[in-house]
Amino acid sequence: MEVRSFVGRFTMDCIGICAFGLDTKAMLDDNSPFTNMGNLIFQATTTQGLKTHMRYIWPGIFYSLGLTAFPKEVDAFFRHFLLRVFDERRGKPSARKDFVEMVLSFYDKKVITGDSMKNLKTDERIKVNLKVDDELVMAQCFVFFAAGYETSATTSSFLLYELAKDQKSQERAREEVREWLRKREGHLGYECVTELPFLEQCIDETLRLYPVLGVITREVTDTYKFENGPTVERGLRVHLPIYHMHHNPKYFPDPESFRPERFAPENRHNIQPYTFFPFGEGPRLCIGMRFAKMQALAGLVTILKKYRVELAEGMPEKLEFEPRSAVTQSKTGINLKFIPLSDADEYLYPREVNAQ
């Protein structure tokens, strides 16, 4: 099975239900329009790759040419979809406490006031005031969708690949999952985010090996001189090489090996600050980080309790990345075998038991 597309459909269903209150039916329909649009956002083509790099390096030229970050059909699809959701939910009491409910509450404020930001030309600190309109609210929804979809799908796929190569770690993760489910009579809950430490270590190690974004861009707000090094002028755009930092043996010994124990409580203090930042750092930390981790854990728990994962025939021990992609992707896909475990019925969720 090509696991990236399979996990992508799972994360699409999660985001649809949890964030927007909508059943996308992505797991049941290989041609779900939501999955198709999600794939278009992160498609690996030469044109899209050039546009992505141009936007990072020369944003002024990019926008002056009238270019857009994503295909126009993606913008049109999500605009139509989100406006329909807003119209259905706006002004109507709802018991759902989802992402749409939160962003719709922005309309009551009329204006959102943020922290003061420094004008890089005048040094004046400006209070940020944003008028709330459909464009602003749709932008927040789109970013949350894109961040949660790609982060979870990519990370879960690469983690299953690494566990397929490392059966010892896979078995340890499975035993942790099963023990946790036994204590809760098979109920999967939010507590899995904090009560599955080894599986979370596996996720962090996967994010180190395969950060979703290999590079992030920031703008220097104050001139800074490195000791015995160059001076970085205010206003300069700086590209931070996340992938290189995560694979630097100075910070992570034996950097190409999958070693979840790096992130164990007794070892985590050895990781230098700002050498592991798969979601970025500071005020612009990825908005979908917590949600992405939570849905990844839920999916991995469901798989590991029922299946042993192995590499499919012909699957290499080292992946080659797609150079045209803005995010970290395998050039050939990730093909794995899912072998049902003989005692899987002992760990069914209550709804699975009721469905039998």
Q: What is d(CA 325, CA 89) in angstroms, rounded to the nearest whole number?
A: 36
* Percent helix, percent strand, percent coil in the chain, to nearest 5: 50, 10, 40
Question: In whole angstroms, what is the distance from residue 194 CA to residue 290 CA?
Answer: 11
**Max CA distance (Å), the chain:** 69
Would you tell me how many other CB atoms lie within 10 Å of the CB of residue 245?
19
Strands (E), 58-141: 111-118, 125-131
b/e sequence 110-119, b meaning 16+ C-beta within 10 Å: eeeeeeeeee
Q: Does 286 appear as a known binding residue? A: yes
Label residue 186 exposed, middle or buried (CB < 10 Å: 0-12, 13-18, 19+). middle
Query: Phi/psi zone of residue 69: left (φ > 0), alpha (ψ -120 to 50 degrees), beta?
Result: alpha
The strand pairing partners of 111, in sequence order, are 131
Please write down the HEC assignment for all residues of 124-166: CEEEEEEECCHHHHHHHHHHHHHHHHHHHHHHHHHHHHHHHHC
Q: Considering Cα of 275, then 281, then 287, then 293, what sign does the dihedral take?
A: positive
In Å, how far from its chain's centre is CA 247? 19
Q: Is 123 left (phi over 0), alpha (psi -120 to 50) or beta?
A: left
| Cα–Cα distance measured from residue 90 to residue 87, given in angstroms and rounded to the nearest whole number | 5
Do strands 307-311 and 237-240 pair parallel, antiparallel, or not at all (unpaired)? unpaired
> For residue 42, which of 330, 292, 325 has the smallest C-alpha distance?
325
Binding-site residues: 286
User: What residues are designated binding site for heme?
Assistant: 286
